[in-house]
Structure 1
Amino acid sequence: MRRKGILNVKLGRAISEMGHDDIMLVVDAGYPMAYEDRVIDLALCPGVPDLLTVLRAIRQDMWVEAYHMIDDAKANNPNAWNGVADVFPDALPGVKPNAWFHEDGYRNAKFIVRTGAWMPWGNVALVSGIPVQEWFGNTGGTVPDSWTERHALNVKHGMTGVE
């Protein structure tokens, strides 16, 4: 039996299959989608599991370089907006229009994780990242200047490499 981390088999497998720059959508209970192999439905009942609980679990197992929320979320769902920022303080935040989540985001997401989140604007696109220092450390060179800021953010928030 697994000692810690994500116990859901499909979600654990999905995280293992994520590559750099792949997108995982983590969506609320009302998100419209077709149920296909890339969908991981965790919803049990309204509010269970909630968005932030799912994101905290994903953070333990996945390098998240950036995340995007619906552009209206900051004004209309500050609990989700601030909560996601707290879960991923070392990721680069961004916004996308609601239509992106239902069109390009939906088409391009490698996986879609449905939570029981019972709220509007409760969708987050996670962009998979890399452990910067370790990744570039195997080159024999130094971390390129374009990545030093990302690495500094990782270190500041305790994400220094693979344990």
Structure 2
Amino acid sequence: MKRSGILNRHLAGALAELGHGDGVLVCDVGMPIPAGPRVVDLAFRAGIPSFADVLEGLLDELVVEGATAASEVRERNTPAARLLEERLPDLVFVPHDELKAFTTGARLVIRTGEARPYANVLLRCGVFF
């Protein structure tokens, strides 16, 4: 049994399969999930688990070389915007419709229980060397 880190077996297994350049969408409960990518749905109740908790846990385990979020998050969800800007220095903002179009190329979608708008980010995996 794992002692620490991500304990959800479905999520831990999906993360282990990722490679350089793969996309991981971390999203709120309202984000449309495209057909195709593997989905790990962590949503339990509105707000549980939060976008912040899931993102922080992922960033402890993943190498991220880039990220994209909806520009609308800056006005409509300032706590999520602050978190994204603090934790992802190479973050690029695009209109929400553009972000939704990008998600079709994601390899993995992680749905949180977040119920505040625009709490979505598309992470691009990097390498540790």
Please name the residue that 1:58 is paired with: 58
Gap runs ≥5 in structure 1: 136-163
How far has the Cα of 1:60 moved from its partner?
A: 1.4
Aligned counterparts of 2:37 and 2:103: Cα–Cα separation in 1: 13
Highest relative contact order (Cα 8 Å, sep 6+), 1 or 2?
2
- TM-score normalised by L of structure 1: 0.73
User: Residue 47 of structure 1 contacts residue 118 of structure 1 at CA under 8 Å; is this kept in 2?
Assistant: yes
Aligned residue pairs, count: 129
Please name the residue that 2:120 is paired with: 123
2:100 to 99, 102, 127: 102
Please name the residue that 1:144 is paired with: none
How far has the Cα of 1:125 moved from its partner?
A: 0.6
Please name the residue that 1:43 is paired with: 43
Please name the residue that 1:26 is paired with: 26
Please name the residue that 1:138 is paired with: none
More strand by share: 2
More helix by share: 1
Aligned counterparts of 1:118 and 1:8: Cα–Cα separation in 2: 21
How far has the Cα of 1:87 moved from its partner?
A: 3.2
User: Residue 37 of structure 2 contacts residue 104 of structure 2 at CA under 8 Å; is this kept in 1?
Assistant: no
- TM-score normalised by L of structure 2: 0.91
How far has the Cα of 1:16 moved from its partner?
A: 1.2
Gap runs ≥5 in structure 2: none
Percent identity over the alignment is: 31
Rg bigger for which structure? 1
Partner secondary structure for residue 82 of structure 1: helix
- Render the CA deviation track for 1:126-162: whole Å, top value 9, x for unaligned: 111122xxx2xxxxxxxxxxxxxxxxxxxxxxxxxxx
Aligned counterparts of 1:18 and 1:85: Cα–Cα separation in 2: 24
How far has the Cα of 1:101 moved from its partner?
A: 2.8
Q: Which letter maps to 1:55?
A: L
Summarize the Cα distance change of 1:36–1:66 in structure 2 as closer, same or farther, 3 Å threshold. Answer: closer
- Render the CA deviation track for 1:106-125: whole Å, top value 9, x for unaligned: 21000010000011111111
